[in-house]
């Protein structure tokens, strides 16, 4: 009498599950890397997009906003600013300053209106770091 066994042994199932887990882990890691890359590119594009409005502000007011005035000066005329040509409605065409891809405000600084630096501190929200945690700057 022959016994006809059908199905998989426990060992075969464990090997298949392990292989499937390794493949999914590799694919997931690649997808997360692409997501991180997308956030870095988006933040770089946002910083680049702020350069035009800042240059328009300088063209009308003869200087960039100060560090204290910040990027908010692109939305509404800052107090105490002697700028007779300030564009009504601001320079961004929106009521809010864009944030970086991680939902944080950009760090803006200016040396008395001659130059400026816009920074995002990346995914870790702290200065320094590498990769997705690295700083993204208008000086890059």
- What are the boundaries of each domain within the chain? 10-137
The secondary structure element, H or E, covering residue 116 is strand 116-120
CATH fold group of domain 10-137: Glycoprotein, Type 4 Pilin (3.30.700)
DSSP label at residue 136:
E
Q: Which has more pLDDT, 18 or 2?
A: 18
Give the tens place of pLDDT for each residue, 103-119: 999 999 998 778 999 99
pLDDT confidence of residue 99: 94
Give the tens place of pLDDT for each residue, 12-51: 888 888 888 888 777 767 666 678 888 999 999 999 999 9
Give the tens place of pLDDT for each residue, 46-93: 999 999 999 999 999 999 999 999 999 999 988 877 788 999 889 998
Residue whose token pair is 């594009």? 45
DSSP label at residue 71:
G
Total-model pTM: 0.73
pLDDT confidence of residue 2: 60
């Amino acid at each position: 009498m022959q016994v006809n066994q059908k199905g998989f042994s426990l060992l075969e199932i464990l090997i298949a599950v392990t292989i499937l887990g390794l493949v999914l882990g590799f694919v997931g890691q690649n997808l997360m890397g692409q997501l991180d890359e997308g956030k870095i590119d988006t933040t770089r594009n946002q910083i680049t997009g702020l350069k035009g409005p800042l240059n328009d502000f300088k063209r009308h007011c003869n200087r960039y906003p100060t560090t204290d005035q910040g990027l908010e000066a692109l939305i509404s005329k800052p107090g105490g600013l002697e700028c007779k040509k300030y564009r009504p409605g601001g320079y961004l065409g929106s009521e809010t300053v864009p944030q970086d891809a991680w939902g944080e405000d950009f760090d803006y600084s200016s040396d008395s209106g001659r130059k400026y630096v816009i920074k995002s501190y990346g995914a870790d929200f702290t200065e320094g770091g590498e990769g997705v945690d690295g700083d993204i700057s208008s000086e890059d």
